[in-house]
Amino acid sequence: MESFHIKNILKFARRKKRKRIVVAGNYNSAAVDAVLQSQKMGFGNPIFCGKEFLVLKTKETIAFDNCDAACALEKAVDMVNNSKADILLNTNPLTSEFLQLAAGINNLHSRVMNYINIFASPKEQRLTLFTDTLINPDPEISEKIDIIHNTIPVADVLGVKDPNIAALAPVEFVNPAIRSTMDAAILSKMSQRGQFGKNVAVEGPLAMDNAESAIAAKQKGVESIVPGNVDIYLFPDVESANITAQFLSFVFQVKLCGILTGTGIPVIVQSSLEQNNSWIYNIALAVLMLKAD
């Protein structure tokens, strides 16, 4: 197993061509500092949008400098839609209104949006993806399928070509009284039939102890390549994902970064699970997600 450091994300992004990042929303010094840092590091090219950014002593021109933060966000979306920018960075806390705006960026993408947190697992320094930590309160099976499809490319840009995915549940047995076990079993069967890609393995239901430990899984009769080798944890609902991420971030001080997917083009946001210094990693992730170089 290759150990992973979150700084690898910056290293990967530096190999890409610069992307035009349109920054809109309320003035947020941590976000502004990060986007300027991305410029210095060679993968970002900021376009500040709206009068909120007139305070900046920067040589960059401010687009739509008569617009307030809300109006600027709409203008920024237009810029992305019209190919005048590559990525939208929203400095504001994530809201349902913004999600509606982000959903309209590219009509070809009508999939579910989900938020993915990425970190190096504290015990083994393994690259780990958690989803959905923010958006879908109680996803149906069809939404979970979309979430998996959205998340596989994120693992891919981080160097995991055929991810192992644990469909989490409280127990490893299918129990009709617990919906997460039923959903996980269906996803697991779909994976066996190659419906997520020939070499992508979804295993479930798996409790967290069997997902993390091949020995624990074996003791409970689970024979699979996934336990002990999980790249992506698919959580049953946002409560389980977000609360687990809260503990990792706040109690165990794990550095999380994150990306919103399913929007058509990368959108940079930050969740309250992450510390201020995650902005630069979130920007780098979005840059990595752009296919054209």
Partner 1 sequence: MYQNFKELEEKALKLGPKPVAVLFPDSPDVMKAVIEGADKGLIKPILVGDRTKIEITTQQFNIKPEDFKIIDEKEPQKASDRCIDMARTGIVAFVVKGNIITSYLYRSLIRHTKTNTPDQTPCTLCFHQADNIKKVFLITDPGVNINPDVSIKRKILKNAVNAQHRMGCKNPKIMIISADHISGSKAKKQNETDILRQLAKDNKMGECRLSNTKNLNSEFPNHRVETDDFPDIFLVPNIDAGNILVKSIDHLGGGVRQCVTVGGDITVLTPSRSDRSVDRILNLSLGIILSEPGGV
Which positions touch partner 1 (CB under 8 A)? 94-96, 99, 121-123, 128, 133-135, 137-138, 168-171, 177-178, 180, 207-213, 215-216, 219-220, 235-244, 246-254, 271-273, 275
Tell the smallest beta-carbon distance from residue 179 to partner 1 (Å): 9
* Element at 205 (helix H, strand E): strand 201-206
What is the DSSP pairing of strand 267-268 with strand 127-131?
unpaired
> Toward partner 1, which CB reaches closer, 3 or 95?
95
Q: How far apart are CA 223 and CA 38, in angstroms?
A: 44
> Toward partner 1, which CB reaches closer, 84 or 218?
218
> Toward partner 1, which CB reaches closer, 82 or 176?
176
Q: What is the DSSP letter of 273?
A: T
138-145 contacts at long range (C-beta below 8 A, 24 or more positions apart): 138/237, 138/238, 139/112, 139/237, 141/183, 141/186, 141/187, 143/112, 144/183, 144/187, 144/234, 145/187, 145/190
Minimal CA–CA distance to 77: which of 135, 22, 32?
22
Tell the smallest beta-carbon distance from residue 273 to partner 1 (Å): 7
> Toward partner 1, which CB reaches closer, 45 or 242?
242
> Toward partner 1, which CB reaches closer, 45 or 90?
90
What is the DSSP pairing of strand 257-261 with strand 114-120?
antiparallel
> Toward partner 1, which CB reaches closer, 46 or 258?
258
Tell the smallest beta-carbon distance from residue 208 to partner 1 (Å): 4
> Toward partner 1, which CB reaches closer, 62 or 238?
238
Evaluate whether 285 touches 17 at the Cβ level (below 8 Å): no
Tell the smallest beta-carbon distance from residue 169 to partner 1 (Å): 7
Encode burial over 218-246: b for 16+ CB neighbours within 10 A, e otherwise: eeeebebebbbbbbbbbbbebebbbebbe
Tell the smallest beta-carbon distance from residue 118 to partner 1 (Å): 14
Tell the smallest beta-carbon distance from residue 241 to partner 1 (Å): 7
Tell the smallest beta-carbon distance from residue 19 to partner 1 (Å): 25
> Toward partner 1, which CB reaches closer, 43 or 119?
119
Helix (H, G, I), strand (E, B) or coil at 173: coil
Token duo for residue 23:
């920054």
Tell the smallest beta-carbon distance from residue 84 to partner 1 (Å): 27
171-176 contacts at long range (C-beta below 8 A, 24 or more positions apart): 171/205, 171/207, 172/205, 172/206, 172/207, 172/210, 172/217, 172/220, 172/221, 172/222, 173/205, 174/205
